[in-house]
Amino acid sequence: MNWIILIIAGLFEVAFASCLGKVKETSGTTMYLWFGGFLVSLTISMLLLIKATQTLPIGTAYAVWTGIGAVGTVLMGIFFFKDPVSFWRIFFIITLVGSIIGLKAVSSH
């Protein structure tokens, strides 16, 4: 169950990073709404990470959380913010996903 909580926490990390990207692109009331989304997503992500680390090793949980956030944020950047795509970016995203799966596989919990 805590692995599911950790995955959800990672998805909220993607959400707060994406909101931060939208804050940069907007102004006025819209900017403040995106900033509010950032704060809500950040809070939920951190609370879920804390919950997950109550039973999972902190090193593994943090690495998986940041990995999910990194991969998700790169993909959001590519699909929604028109970030550049190259062979090497995709290659290293795939190696990061493999590392996350490897950490889950060798975790004793």
60, 61, 78 from 86: Cα distances, Å: 29, 29, 10
Which pTM does this prediction carry?
0.86
What whole-number distance in Å separates Cα of residue 69 and Cα of residue 9?
Answer: 9
The answer to whether 29 and 88 are in contact (CB under 8 A) is no
pLDDT value of position 100: 87
Q: In sequence order, which residues have a C-beta less than 8 Å from that of residue 68 and are 6 or more positions away? A: 6, 7, 9, 10, 11, 13, 14, 100
Amino acid at 44: I
pLDDT tens per residue, range 65-96: 999 999 999 999 999 888 999 999 999 999 99
Report pLDDT digits (tens) over 44-57: 999 999 999 999 99
